[in-house]
Structures are given as C-alpha cells and as structure tokens.
C-alpha cells in the first residue's frame, strides 16, 4: 500500500541506494539515471519517510520552541519569527506552550528530547535547571534561552536590555515631573526580566534622589489579571502614585481597564507607561507611552545562534566555549498616557 523507496527502485529499475542518492542530491549519479528516478518519484507521488530518514541519519532537522502561550502577542511574534527563520534554514520547529507551568515545561523538554530535536529555543519558566543541565551535559541537544535566563544554567541566550530600557523610561517619567512612580513588575523569583526591570526602576529613582517606597512596588505575573489587580490596589490605597510603570503589555491592558472602571483619567489623574508595546497601541482609547522591544529579532537571532551551534564542525569546541549572550536594545515611544 504505502509507496516506499523499494517501490520506487523497482519501478525505476535501479537499486534503493541510487534512489537515496538522487533524493539526497549526491553527485555520484548519472544525469540520465537521475532524470529517470525523479520521473518515477513524481509519478508515484512518492514522499520520503522522514521518520526512517531521521532514525538512520541521526538528524531530524527539527528544533523545539517552548514559549508561555501563543495567545499573547509577544509570544506569537516569537513563534512567527522562529518559524520563519527555521524554515529558511531547512529546519522545522515544534511548538510547545508551558502556560508558565514548570511541570509542563519539563514534560515538553523530555518530549523534545525523545523526538531527537537538534536544539531547543526556550522561554524558560525559571525552574528545571537540573534537567536543563542534564540536557546540556549529557546530550547533543543545543539550547538557547530567549527573553530571560535561568539561574545556575549556562547557555546561549538572546535578551532585551531590560535594565537600560527601564532606566530610560523612569528617567523620562521623573523629568516629566512625576514624583510617586509606582511599578508593577513580574515575578522576581522566576524571571530575570522582572529582576532587571525592577533594578532599572530602582537605579533611576536612586540617581534622582527619590527614596524607594515599598507601597509603590507590586509583583505581578505578567498576565492581564495581575495588571488589573495591582493597579486597583495601588489606586485604592491611601498613599497613591501619580504614575504607574507596568512591566509588560498584558498587565498594562489590565491596568487601563480598571482605571477606566475607577474613572481615573489618563494622563490627567495618573500617568501610565509600560515596557512592551501593546498590539494596535494607537487604536486603544489611551495609546500608551512605552518601551518597544525588538521581539521579532529576539526570535530570529535565537534561531541563528542555535543553528550555528548545531551545524558547527567543531562540536568539541562548542562544548567548551562559554555562553554567548546577545542583548538587544529597545525603542522609546511617547504617546499621551504620560503628561
């Protein structure tokens, strides 16, 4: 029933080795033979069996991509860029969504190993460092982190300059006259991104001689709900901020939702700025002053790093050399959500 290489070989009157050579673009085939084979291949609608080929070649041309959730625009862009660049290089990507659940992440890491992917691009939950080190040390699977690092795991990464991006943002807010700038950042336990954004915030305040005030610092989880929740907390407290800096777009959208419910006018009553540009920012009822990230590049560069490693001639060398960490710069966008 299934058309395999034997069927093709028989019909073409040559051996399977020759078919294989044609299919793998070996030069050691006479032009006449090649033509004949290709004709038969086409006539039978034969497609090579990737499973068998992978097993034999020990090469799958597959990489895994683990993100949090494609429903977020940020991750969707990464998925798209990774796919684009992967395909251009003759590889395929397998997409996994962790939902920020370390168990799911672990499950997917194992799955991808089992699938013999040649590399993994990981937007990490921050846990699973033991298993990650196991992959790095005991297998040939290359790993590149994207957007954030994992404690105690040394490997290549492509990041955004969160520290300086945030510093520039807070400096701007201070210059505009804001005095009680609150921040809603991510979970500093799990995310190096959240840590750096908080650091940038604190550093700017310090330089301006403004004292850190814990009432103005909230730790969210980068989701809409936590932007909503902590903005509400901030605005219902006795000591209120005059401006809120929010560490990502999803939380910022939660924030402006609740601000409208509370009838708090932006920017008259409160300034709002965020890290990461919301999708269709200009169509929002309040386009947000924000730090735009080179998200597509983040994914594209990660794939390039990864494939370079995979295809490197000198695998010994690769194991030894220390991790390459690429840091991309951000872009400042001023809208009317700040005065």
Partner DNA sequence: GTGAAAGCGCTAACAT
Partner DNA sequence: ATGTTAGCGCTTTCAC
Binding residues vs DNA (CB under 7 A):
2, 4-6, 13-21, 23-24, 27-30, 32-33, 48-49, 52-53, 55-58
For residues 217 and 185, the answer to whether their CB atoms sit within 8 Å is yes
Residues 81, 303: Cα–Cα separation, whole Å: 9
Which of the choices a second copy, DNA, none does residue 70 contact, using the CB cut-off of 5 to 8 A by kind?
a second copy
Which of the choices a second copy, DNA, none does residue 329 contact, using the CB cut-off of 5 to 8 A by kind?
none
Which of the choices DNA, a second copy, none does residue 23 contact, using the CB cut-off of 5 to 8 A by kind?
DNA
3-state class of 262 per DSSP? coil
* Closest distance of CB 206 from a second copy, Å: 34
Q: What's the burial of 158, exposed, middle or buried (CB within 10 Å: 0-12/13-18/19+)? A: buried
* Closest distance of CB 266 from a second copy, Å: 12
Nearest CA to 289 among 315, 326, 256, 322?
A: 256
Does 136 bind a second copy (CB under 8 A)? Our answer is no
62 to each of 80, 119, 281, how far by Cα in Å?
A: 16, 7, 35
Does 319 bind a second copy (CB under 8 A)? Our answer is no
- Site residues for a second copy, 244-303, by CB under 8 A, read 253, 256-257, 278-280, 282-285
Strand partners, 332: 291
The nearer residue to a second copy, 64 or 271, going by C-beta atoms, is 64
Q: Which of 67-75, 198-206, 211-219, 301-309 is the region at the interface with a second copy (rule: CB under 8 A)?
A: 67-75
- Site residues for a second copy, 2-61, by CB under 8 A, read 2, 45, 47-52, 54-55, 60
DSSP for 121-149 reads: EE---S--HHHHHHHHHHS--EEEEESS-
* Closest distance of CB 166 from a second copy, Å: 24
Does 318 bind a second copy (CB under 8 A)? Our answer is no
The nearer residue to DNA, 44 or 262, going by C-beta atoms, is 44
For residues 147 and 160, the answer to whether their CB atoms sit within 8 Å is yes
For residue 250, what are the contacts with CB-CB under 8 A and spacing of at least 6?
72, 74, 222, 223, 224, 227
The nearer residue to a second copy, 116 or 164, going by C-beta atoms, is 116
Q: Which of 28-36, 114-122, 169-177, 202-210 is the region at the interface with a second copy (rule: CB under 8 A)?
A: 114-122
The nearer residue to DNA, 313 or 320, going by C-beta atoms, is 313
For residues 255 and 246, the answer to whether their CB atoms sit within 8 Å is yes
Calculate Rg over the CA atoms of the chain: 25
List the structure tokens of 234: 């901030």
* Closest distance of CB 75 from DNA, Å: 32
Residues 28, 48: Cα–Cα separation, whole Å: 20
Give the total of residues touching a second copy (CB under 8 A): 45
Nearest CA to 170 among 85, 89, 313, 290?
A: 290
Name the site residues for a second copy (rule: CB under 8 A): 2, 45, 47-52, 54-55, 60, 69-71, 73, 76-77, 79-80, 83, 92-97, 110-111, 113-116, 134, 138-139, 253, 256-257, 278-280, 282-285
């Amino acid at each position: 029933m299934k058309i395999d290489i034997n069927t093709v070989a028989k019909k073409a009157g040559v051996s399977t080795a020759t078919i294989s050579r044609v299919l793998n673009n070996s030069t050691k085939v006479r032009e006449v033979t090649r033509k004949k084979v290709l004709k038969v291949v086409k006539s039978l609608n034969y497609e090579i069996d990737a499973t068998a080929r992978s097993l034999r070649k020990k090469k799958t041309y597959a990489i895994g991509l683990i993100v949090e959730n494609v429903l977020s625009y940020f991750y969707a862009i990464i998925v798209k860029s990774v796919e684009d660049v992967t395909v251009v290089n003759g590889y395929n990507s397998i997409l996994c969504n962790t939902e920020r659940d370390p168990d799911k992440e672990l499950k997917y890491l194992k799955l991808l190993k089992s699938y013999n992917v040649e590399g993994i691009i990981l937007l990490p939950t921050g846990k699973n460092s033991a298993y990650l080190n196991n992959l790095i040390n005991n297998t040939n699977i290359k790993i590149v982190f994207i957007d954030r690092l994992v404690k105690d795991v040394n490997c290549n990464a492509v990041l955004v300059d969160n520290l300086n991006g945030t510093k520039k943002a807070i400096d701007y807010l201070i210059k505009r006259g804001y005095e009680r700038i609150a921040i809603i950042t991510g979970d500093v336990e799990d995310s190096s991104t959240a840590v750096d954004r908080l650091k940038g915030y604190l550093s700017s305040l310090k330089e301006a001689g403004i004292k850190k005030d814990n009432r103005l610092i909230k730790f969210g989880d980068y989701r809409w709900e936590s932007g909503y929740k902590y903005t509400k907390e901030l605005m219902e407290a006795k000591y209120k901020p005059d401006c809120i800096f929010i560490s990502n777009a999803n939380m910022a959208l939660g924030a402006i939702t609740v601000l409208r419910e509370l009838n708090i006018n932006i920017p008259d009553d409160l300034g709002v700025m965020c890290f990461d540009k919301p999708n269709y920012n200009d169509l929002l009822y309040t386009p947000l002053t924000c730090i735009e990230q080179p998200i597509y590049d983040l994914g594209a560069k990660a794939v390039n790093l990864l494939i370079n490693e995979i295809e490197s001639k000198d695998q010994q060398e690769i194991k030894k050399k220390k991790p390459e960490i690429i840091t991309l710069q951000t872009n400042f966008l001023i809208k009317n959500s700040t005065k």
